[in-house]
A and B are shown apart, each in its own frame.
Chain A
Amino acid sequence: MIEINHLTKKFGDVTAVNNVSFSVQSGEVVGFLGPNGAGKTTTMKIITGYTAPTSGSVSIDGMDIQDHPDETRAKIGYLPERNPLYDEFQVSEYLAFVAELRGVPRAIRASRISEMVQSCGLEKMLHKPIGDLSKGFRQRVGIAQSLVHNPDLIE
């Protein structure tokens, strides 16, 4: 469960997010809509711990993201708008790298990666450099990396 309370983010004189509060229950799928510059990305960056709020708080499963940054980030699978990938890695190498970073236990790492490869339809791309992939397959790799550690929260 995510609790956002009175979140405000200011960049100088500009208020990007103004006293926003909402909650997301377990199992709930929430779409965040708004025109350009509405504050969507800023809010997402705060929830995922990429940037700090000016005031207000975000808690995930009762833990404040600023007091417990590592524990709360471990619960999140995040695919940013600009899908950041290492072009030099092969898909298999990249997913293994992310799984290790995300602390997937060694004993189940291979099976977890295999599960992601199957569910994202990446079997034929497994040994190709990411730089050679089409935009669609790059997105699939991004989705696979965001899910590899079986997060509670997907953004």
Chain B
Amino acid sequence: MIIIHEGNIVAQGTTEELLQAGSAKENIILTLKGPSDSIQSEIEQLPDIQKVEPHSATEQDCCRFRIIAHHDMREDIFTLAARNHWPIMELYRERVSLEDIFRKLTT
């Protein structure tokens, strides 16, 4: 696959290679039941965390975050939540699609 923009090649490789290059960061959306401040602070102390962005949670007594890290944090987050008895209400990885990569490169 070759992506061209304004006469220049901006990316090339197999579909898998382009997806891999575009998703160098692991984003996780997490909703836990528990105290927001403590949870954010504990997550920020996990290794390889780049950023913890608070999002508004729709459920009572819950807090929601987008966690940006350099590697897959699911196991660390599970262990942290279990240790602190914070029930996991939601946890999923934000996947980067080929369309996302195309838009990023060409807009």
Contacts and interface: CB of A to CB of B under 8 A. Distances in A.
A35 B9 CA distance: 12
Interface stretch (A11-19, A82-90, A117-125): A11-19
10 contacts: A9-B7, A17-B7, A19-B8, A20-B4, A21-B9, A30-B1, A31-B2, A33-B102, A34-B106, A35-B107
B2 A38 contact: no
A39 interface: yes
Interface residues of A, number: 20
B1 A40 contact: no
A43 B4 contact: yes
Given A22-B12, A33-B102, A38 B1 contact: no
Given A22-B12, A38-B106, A33 B2 contact: yes
Contacts of A17: 7
Contacts of A20: 4, 7-9
Interface of B: 1-9, 12, 102, 106-107
A72 B27 CA distance: 48
Nearest to A42: B7
Nearest to A15: B7
A16 B1 CA distance: 19
B1 A34 contact: no
Contact of B3 (A16, A34, A37, A43): A34
Interface string A18-32: 111110000000111
A20 B5 CA distance: 11
B9 A22 contact: yes
A18 B7 contact: yes
Nearest to B3: A33
